[in-house]
Chains A and B, each alone.
Chain A
Amino acid sequence: GNSVTQMEGPVTLSEEAFLTINCTYTATGYPSLFWYVQYPGEGLQLLLKATKADDKGSNKGFEATYRKETTSFHLEKGSVQVSDSAVYFCALSTDGGFKTIFGAGTRLFVKA
């Protein structure tokens, strides 16, 4: 079945450090891939998405590239800020599917 695996957290970084959160997926067909962010006490916000192989999604300095050959969608940011502290979820959805499948989430702490 379809699934998403992302690196376990928590990830602790200093402000202005480089961020990578790994995400790999298993899916039939050609899924759309997403990164969602959840700030403390809030619901999920869409951070970025990519709908086909080699697409790059980007938003607020975050980027992720849809790599079909490695079935990966790693999240990166060149310089994190304290305000980026949150839980990040990698997710996928498929044609003919009716749900979004989420990874377990990776908690990021950024220290000033």
Chain B
Amino acid sequence: DAGVTQSPTHLIKTRGQQVTLRCSPISGHKSVSWYQQVLGQGPQFIFQYYEKEERGRGNFPDRFSARQFPNYSSELNVNALLLGDSALYLCASSPGLGKETQYFGPGTRLLVL
């Protein structure tokens, strides 16, 4: 079975630009979460979506937005990029909500110049 997939794998943008990252969950999983991992730190929660609705949001500015599609795939959008947005963006899927195990994709490495 395919795991969580993310695209693109790497991305270079300049300050002020906008970026869209994509994620496909494991088949049958209805929940998708997004995390930001800055170099040398643990992942920080950005969003969770379940059944196409936002179920949780971390402490990130409104420049960050996301959505989930009917096939449960998801996009993360970041507007007005800052140098500090450079990080590994991880997508995770799980069957539902709560204490379930999250399965992570390989991530998209974003570099903002």
Total residues of chain B contacting the partner, CB 8 A:
26
Q: Which of B67-108 contact A (CB under 8 A)?
A: 88, 90, 92, 97-107
A100 — nearest CB in chain B belongs to which residue?
B102
Assess whether A102 is in contact with B99, with CB atoms less than 8 Å apart.
no
A49 — nearest CB in chain B belongs to which residue?
B101
Residues of A within 8 Å of B98, CB to CB, are: 93-97
The answer, among B43, B55, B97, for a CB contact under 8 Å with A44, is B43
Assess whether B104 is in contact with A45, with CB atoms less than 8 Å apart.
yes
Residues of A within 8 Å of B90, CB to CB, are: 43-44
A57-B72 Cα distance, complex, nearest whole Å: 30
A6 — nearest CB in chain B belongs to which residue?
B42
Q: Produce 1/0 per residue, A1-18, CB < 8 A to B.
A: 000100000000000000
With A95-B98, A98-B48 as known contacts, state yes or no: A46 contacts B103, CB within 8 Å: yes
A5 to chain B, nearest CB (A): 11
A32 — nearest CB in chain B belongs to which residue?
B99
A46-B107 Cα distance, complex, nearest whole Å: 15
For residue B56, CB closer than 8 A to chain A, the reply is yes
Residues of A within 8 Å of B88, CB to CB, are: 43
Residues of B within 8 Å of A42, CB to CB, are: 106-107
The answer, among A36, A96, A99, for a CB contact under 8 Å with B45, is A99
Given contacts A42-B106, A42-B107, A98-B33, 14 further A-B contacts (CB under 8 A): A32-B100, A34-B101, A46-B101, A46-B103, A95-B99, A97-B99, A98-B48, A98-B55, A98-B56, A99-B48, A103-B42, A104-B41, A105-B41, A105-B42
Chain B residues within 8 Å of A, Cβ to Cβ:
33, 40-45, 48, 50, 55-56, 58, 88, 90, 92, 97-107
Chain A residues within 8 Å of B, Cβ to Cβ:
4, 31-32, 34, 36, 42-46, 49, 51, 89, 91, 93-105
A-B contact pairs, 15 of them (CB 8 A): A4-B42, A32-B101, A44-B92, A46-B103, A46-B104, A93-B99, A94-B98, A94-B99, A95-B98, A98-B55, A98-B56, A98-B97, A100-B45, A103-B42, A104-B41
